[in-house]
Amino acid sequence: MQKDPIRIVILGGGTAGWMTAAGFIKGFKPEFASVRLIESDEIGTVGVGEATLPQLKSFNDFLGLNEPEFMRDTNATFKLGIDFRNWGREGDRYIHPFGIHGQAINGVPLFQYWLKARANGHDSDLESYSFPIMACRNLKFDFPSEDDRSVRSTFAYAYQFDAVLYARYLRRWAEGRGLQRTEGKVVEVNLRPEDGFIRSLTLASGEVVEGDLFIDCSGFRSLLLGQTLKVPWEDWTPWLPCDRALAVPCDRTDDFTPYTRVTAREAGWIWRIPLQHRTGNGYVFSSRFTTEGRAAEVLLGGLDGKAQADPRLIKFAAGRRKQSWYKNCIAIGLASGFLEPLESTSIYLAQMASDFVMRLFPDRDIDPKLVTEFNRTIDIEYDRVRDFLILHYHANQKPAEEDPTGLWRYVREMTVPDTLIEKMETFKHRGHIHRYRDGLFAPPSWVAVYTGQNILPRNYDRQVDNMSTEAMLEKMREMQERVAVNVDALPTHADFLRDYCFDPSAKVMQETGNV
Ligand code: FAD
């Protein structure tokens, strides 16, 4: 029987640190584990990370957060997907929805019927069968239906929020439940001579904080796992060459798009994320293909409101630590790796990692099998996200006149990972996409990107032939109509927000100074 609580020390109070801390406080009784978080106001946080995936709602539900209160306090809006512009070629547009492209018929995805109809000369808009996409296009929102026969049950939703306010919100929540927070800068990491495990952290004040398990949420610094324990870095920049972002908030507009917009530009892409009080914008670009000055010009030239600050530069590299768990240290968040925010995956990866730590939670003498299992799962998650992101770049058809910097030609012609080549070849045959038991990304996500970027299979799933072409076309027409009628009946996203969590006349404009 364990006598004393296991001492968990979390280094870092960004989104990763506070999500991990809140999860542990909720999941573990104080007799089992004590949780202490150290953060430094002087160092601060990365201050970005506004767009999320639907899994965040499960995390908030696990904590028992009150949704309207959480949304009010973080200036959040709802998100049904991501609007991709100019990715295949200039003028292309598609939405990656948090849901499906129409309900399956006889267990076969609607996408396969669409392929057959197309092959028979009946071209139609694939997106018009998708409830979440049509809601995005019409700026509508409502909660999903619990009736799984309804077309209104075919989606999930996420949030767009102020990341700094979210960390603050979780801090209040966790401190109110007994979490011990220490403000201070770690200046030394002390190892046990016998095995090289971390024994304690020394703060600038001289205080020494001992622990049994150390969670490294120190951001890009990776102070414990990278700098101290020297776990090597795996570099993915040859596949994902963007290495800079300029971020700038601007005055908001009133349309409150229920989606994040990502627009391909000459040396990368620009995000636009609508919050209650402002719109977040940023240009993710490759310093090999443009300059910071030119990037700022492109970014500021495309804002849809007045800039609220000067653009802030953030440097990064795509890649990750070869192991996220080493000895008695587990890195979560940017300390473990980074993949650019095109598909809003970073917060998800941190959430997934902290959840997995809880499930595998070690005793004081750490069983190496747990470490292996944790690292194996993290590898899979990172590799899948990496392949999916690479696809967006690789599958472009931009001609020279749309590619003044040469970035798009480079990513089209580069050698991509074998795992991605296999996925693309399988898809090109009959549109088959492997369905993972868990983790990112499900087949509709791949369908959205492939079709949106003009990659179509040569043939379709022949089970579709079990229905006559006339009957198939009729069912497809009915579905299109059902989607249109149901979307029509939804409130606008702006009205929904106003009723649910946002009073524009009240003082909700919590300014954080972050972008
Ligand atoms: P940080 O926020 O950097 O926090 C690090 C913490 O460690 C801070 O509290 C700091 O004070 C502390 N610390 C460091 N060193 C010390 C020390 N010596 N002593 C004491 N404390 C220390 N993710 C998404 O999911 N969606 C997005 O839309 C998105 N957009 C992004 C855009 C850009 C340009 C970038 C770069 C990232 C984006 N991300 C996004 C990623 C997201 O920002 C991060 O995953 C998230 O903020 C978690 O960061 P973190 O907590 O790991 O690190």
Can you tell me which atom of ligand 1 is nearest the CA of 316?
A: 36
Residues 493 and 141 sit within 8 Å (Cβ to Cβ): yes
**Which residue among 19, 45, 246 is best mutated to probe the pocket of ligand 1, counting the most ligand atoms within 8 A of its Cβ?**
45
User: What is the CB-side half-sphere exposure of residue 400 using CA atoms within 13 A?
Assistant: 0
Between β-strands 244-250 and 279-285, what pairing exists: parallel, antiparallel or unpaired? antiparallel
* Full pLDDT tens readout for the chain, 515 residues: 567 999 999 999 999 999 999 999 999 999 999 999 999 999 999 999 899 999 999 999 999 999 999 999 999 999 999 999 999 999 999 999 999 999 999 999 999 999 999 999 999 999 999 999 999 999 999 999 999 999 999 999 999 999 999 999 999 999 999 999 999 999 999 999 999 999 999 999 999 999 999 999 999 999 999 999 999 999 999 999 999 999 999 999 888 999 999 999 999 999 999 999 999 999 999 999 999 999 999 999 999 999 999 999 999 999 999 999 999 999 999 999 999 999 999 999 999 999 999 999 999 999 999 999 999 999 999 999 999 999 999 999 999 999 999 999 999 999 999 999 999 999 999 999 988 887 889 999 999 999 999 999 999 999 999 999 999 999 999 999 999 999 999 999 999 999 999 866 554 444 443 43
- How far away, in angstroms, is 220 Cα from ligand 1 center? 7
Q: Rounded to an integer, what distance in angstroms lies between the CA atom of residue 258 and that of residue 371? A: 39
**Which residue among 218, 246, 283 is best mutated to probe the pocket of ligand 1, counting the most ligand atoms within 8 A of its Cβ?**
218
Q: Rounded to an integer, what distance in angstroms lies between the CA atom of residue 324 and that of residue 320? A: 8
- 446: nearest Cα among 464, 412, 423: 423
Active site residue ranges: 79
The pocket around ligand 1, CB under 6 angstroms, is made up of: 11-17, 38-40, 43-46, 48-52, 163, 185-186, 217-219, 221, 223, 245, 247, 282, 314, 316, 333-335, 341, 344, 346-347, 350
Residues 457 and 429 sit within 8 Å (Cβ to Cβ): yes
**Ligand 1 atom 30, closest CA:** 49
- How far away, in angstroms, is 176 Cα from ligand 1 center? 23
**Ligand 1 atom 15, closest CA:** 218
Helix axes 418-430, 368-394, angle to 10 degrees: 60
Q: Rounded to an integer, what distance in angstroms lies between the CA atom of residue 341 and that of residue 260? A: 11
What is the pTM assigned to this prediction? 0.96
Tokens, residue 341: 């925010």
Can you tell me which atom of ligand 1 is nearest the CA of 53?
A: 25
**Which residue among 9, 20, 46 is best mutated to probe the pocket of ligand 1, counting the most ligand atoms within 8 A of its Cβ?**
46
Around Cβ 29, how many Cβ atoms within 10 Å? 7
